[in-house]
Structure 1
Amino acid sequence: MTHLMRRYFNGTVSAVDLGAKISRNKTPYFLTEDDIVASVDTAIGEFTDTLRRPFNSDTLPKIKGFITNIGLPYATLNKNGSLDRLSLKLFQGYVVDYFAKGVPLSQISISTDSVTSVLPLSQQKRDEAYYNVLNKAADKFMADGWLADNEQRMIESYTSSLGIALNCLPMQYQSESLCRIGQAIVLKDLQRGILPQKPLTVPVMLSRDEAPLWIYDNVTMLQEKITREYVGGSRGMSYRICKGLTYRTGSFKGHPVERSFMDTIGVGQLVITNKNLFFHCPTASVKIPYKKLVGVTPYADGLEVHKEEAKPKRTVFQGFDAWFVMNVLNQVNI
């Protein structure tokens, strides 16, 4: 049966003959539904592996004829996700043409709609395809370490058409190249005095003319804590006056010793705006105005900020690359 399906995809068996032979052989060969689905998974998997861009014009009609003549419901045929994988490859292949060939998104939408009319794809899977293509384009564009103006225009057109915010990506799609592209776009706009046009939903209260530029998730905030204790000894004599009462003479000589340690405040979101740093977690919310900063020390996995205050304490944010924040501080008018 698997061989018969292979012959259909290489063009030596028609769709009608495929359906007739499967139907005719079910009973005498005791073919169960699971047997047919297993053969479908194998044949569809092999066909999916052979597909290369640009796709032939008969690809979708061939798939439609196959699904129609197998004799089982679509959901049953797709029980193991083989049709989803085929649909995703076709869908993503058409989307790639926007970056690879400059095909307009309006035309790509027509092609992807034709795919989903034959091979239904959930919105989650469609988003997966959009983000996968964007990730590949990001890797290509950032290979030279910088984003050209025409590359930026392509990215911005793509993201605005699909409603994608680069400065608030889902965690599973936050590739290094894609984050760098989003940050490069923000920094270029800041150089021209332009704030992000697409508002972000942030868990903090912003002031007038304040715009969120980027949001980091899973950031750990640590703050210096100082403890003080006295160490030393005493000299003198103790005299027992009566039962339960002792009188002591002499003096205590000691000195205070301060010890500091970095205390974890919590794990939450670090919001970068054009005016402030905000840290928000379930147990704390902290606002650090750029005007109050007297120094910033970048690390490989975060940064340490030094504020102007009577008793300054070290404050560290850990869990992200500080490159973007340092560039923001160089661009904003503090």
Structure 2
Amino acid sequence: MKSLGTIAKVGGALGYAAYNGIKSTNAQTRQLNQTRNTKNISPTGCGIIAIGFILGAIVGICAGSFMAFGIIFFGTAFVVSIMTIVSSDEETKQTSSPTEVSKEDVLINSNPKFKEVAGAIKKSILSKVPHEYINLQLKGLPVDLRKECFLQALLSALDEYNLMPEIPNETEKYIDGLTAKMNISEDMLASKSQYVDFTKSLIVQDILHGIIPRRATLTRNPINFQKNEILIWPFVGVVLYEEVVRHQSVGASRGISVRVANGIYYRVGAFKGETLTTSSLQAKYTGSLIITNKNIYLYSIQKSIRLPYEKILSFVPFEDGIGIQPDRMNAKTIYIKGLDGRFAFNVVSNIRNINE
């Protein structure tokens, strides 16, 4: 019995040591998983391994052999460990995947005053305070954060302007002056959706006031404009769809077939049916929609179309596109998708009033 008791004590000691080792390893592994993906043994797996240790000890005691205990002990622990690592892989992926942090969040968290200063500058921009006063506000931040803080405040202010029924006079001139003094390039502003929407709002506002806007430019214009024709806005990467109408006869016949000669039959009966008409939109071309004060151009490598406003019957607005109905007999509606439908509809439906 002494030898059996010794085996039991050894088994218990090894089991306890293994449990503490796994517990310590798991604590260190969880810390490493915060910065990289790795496979980990879950707490459930630790319990399974502990049960395997206990079973190995019991079998060793019953067999009265330390060698049998050791073989079963380590063999069970090895098999269960492999199974546990594989089963816990998916759980580890969910907990160890790095969290995506935006650039703005990094800047805000890097300095406790960043958000406060950006909010104050936004109010200053909306109030059109002088540039010197904004510079004083920025001095509360490190030099490397000032430009980004100003840009964040400007974009937030532009969001406010875009919600206004009408943008106040001199706002565009004031914004242009600020961005020039802060060394914010036109290319940087053009990449921001808030500034693009701000420009669109100014264009629609000009048209409603009877002014032909001159804010858009094309680096390479593929269209030969007519005399005194002015670019209003280009949409690049749009898709032109055409409506395809299909007619199909559907119905059923009934009656009997009478044999007239060998291999020849005559059917006596009636057919009753109707014509089913279906329509669908089919993509035709990918290219650009160019809006001017005189025409609408649909430009693509395969085909280009010019639609004068006086030859357009109506416009159909969509959230992501616009429909154009030419003023011709049996002309199909042209659908253009992949653009700001609200803005395009406001421009084309009101620019004709200026031409008249």
TM-score normalised to structure 2 length:
0.48
* Distance in structure 2 (CA, Å) of the matches to 1:316 and 1:279: 11
Change (3 A) 1:130 1:50: closer
Match of 2:190 among 144, 153, 169: 169
Change (3 A) 1:218 1:96: farther
* Distance in structure 1 (CA, Å) of the matches to 2:337 and 2:286: 9
Match of 1:153 in 2: 173
User: Residue 189 of structure 1: CA displacement?
Assistant: 3.4
Asked whether the equivalents of residues 301 and 318 of structure 1 are also in contact (C-alpha less than 8 Å), the reply is yes
SS in 1 for 2:111: helix
Change (3 A) 1:169 1:269: farther
Higher normalized helix content (fraction of residues): 2
Asked whether the equivalents of residues 235 and 288 of structure 2 are also in contact (C-alpha less than 8 Å), the reply is yes
Asked whether the equivalents of residues 295 and 308 of structure 2 are also in contact (C-alpha less than 8 Å), the reply is yes
Asked whether the equivalents of residues 165 and 198 of structure 1 are also in contact (C-alpha less than 8 Å), the reply is no
SS in 2 for 1:305: strand
Asked whether the equivalents of residues 216 and 231 of structure 2 are also in contact (C-alpha less than 8 Å), the reply is no
User: Residue 223 of structure 1: CA displacement?
Assistant: 1.2
Match of 1:207 in 2: 225
* Distance in structure 2 (CA, Å) of the matches to 1:94 and 1:47: 18
**1:136 corresponds to 2:156:** yes
* Distance in structure 2 (CA, Å) of the matches to 1:150 and 1:286: 38
Over alpha carbons, which structure has the higher Rg? 2
Q: Percent identity, please.
A: 18
Indicate the larger mover: 232-241 or 323-332: 232-241
User: Residue 146 of structure 1: CA displacement?
Assistant: 2.5
**Superimposed CA distance per residue, residues 32-85 of structure 1 (whole angstroms, 9 cap, x where no aligned partner):** xxxxxxxxxxxx989941455999xxxxxxxxxxxxxxxxxxxxxxxxxxxxxx
Change (3 A) 1:47 1:239: closer
Match of 1:182 among 191, 199, 223: 199
Match of 2:103 in 1: none
- Report the AA paired with residue 164 of structure 1: E
1:313-328 maps to which residues of 2 (within 5 A)? 313-328=332-347
Change (3 A) 1:179 1:52: closer
- Report the AA paired with residue 198 of structure 2: I
Match of 2:308 in 1: 289
* Distance in structure 1 (CA, Å) of the matches to 2:292 and 2:149: 30
* Distance in structure 1 (CA, Å) of the matches to 2:215 and 2:267: 76
- Report the AA paired with residue 281 of structure 2: M
SS in 2 for 1:148: coil
**1:220 corresponds to 2:239:** yes
Match of 1:103 among 131, 140, 143: 131
* Distance in structure 2 (CA, Å) of the matches to 1:131 and 1:52: 12
SS in 2 for 1:291: helix
* Distance in structure 2 (CA, Å) of the matches to 1:266 and 1:159: 39
User: Residue 330 of structure 1: CA displacement?
Assistant: 1.5
User: Residue 140 of structure 1: CA displacement?
Assistant: 2.8
- Where structure 1 has 5 or more consecutive residues not aligned to the other structure, the ranges are 1-43, 56-88
Match of 1:262 in 2: 281
Change (3 A) 1:165 1:211: farther
- Report the AA paired with residue 180 of structure 1: D
Change (3 A) 1:129 1:275: farther
Match of 2:296 in 1: 277
Considering only aligned residues, what root-mean-square deviation do their CA atoms show, in Å? Answer: 4.9
SS in 2 for 1:146: coil
* Distance in structure 1 (CA, Å) of the matches to 2:237 and 2:319: 16
Change (3 A) 1:188 1:227: same
* Distance in structure 1 (CA, Å) of the matches to 2:150 and 2:303: 36
* Distance in structure 1 (CA, Å) of the matches to 2:307 and 2:324: 9
User: Residue 324 of structure 1: CA displacement?
Assistant: 2.3
User: Residue 215 of structure 1: CA displacement?
Assistant: 2.7
Aligned length: 236
Asked whether the equivalents of residues 288 and 299 of structure 2 are also in contact (C-alpha less than 8 Å), the reply is yes
Asked whether the equivalents of residues 317 and 341 of structure 2 are also in contact (C-alpha less than 8 Å), the reply is yes
* Distance in structure 2 (CA, Å) of the matches to 1:284 and 1:102: 51
- Report the AA paired with residue 214 of structure 2: P
User: Residue 220 of structure 1: CA displacement?
Assistant: 3.2
Asked whether the equivalents of residues 204 and 278 of structure 1 are also in contact (C-alpha less than 8 Å), the reply is no
User: Residue 130 of structure 1: CA displacement?
Assistant: 7.7
- Where structure 2 has 5 or more consecutive residues not aligned to the other structure, the ranges are 1-105
Indicate the larger mover: 252-261 or 269-278: 252-261
SS in 1 for 2:330: coil
- Report the AA paired with residue 211 of structure 2: G
* Distance in structure 2 (CA, Å) of the matches to 1:140 and 1:274: 29
User: Residue 224 of structure 1: CA displacement?
Assistant: 0.4
Asked whether the equivalents of residues 97 and 103 of structure 1 are also in contact (C-alpha less than 8 Å), the reply is no
- Report the AA paired with residue 102 of structure 1: P
* Distance in structure 2 (CA, Å) of the matches to 1:240 and 1:180: 78
Match of 1:303 among 322, 329, 333: 322
- Report the AA paired with residue 137 of structure 1: A
Match of 1:49 in 2: 111
TM-score normalised to structure 1 length:
0.51
User: Residue 202 of structure 1: CA displacement?
Assistant: 5.5
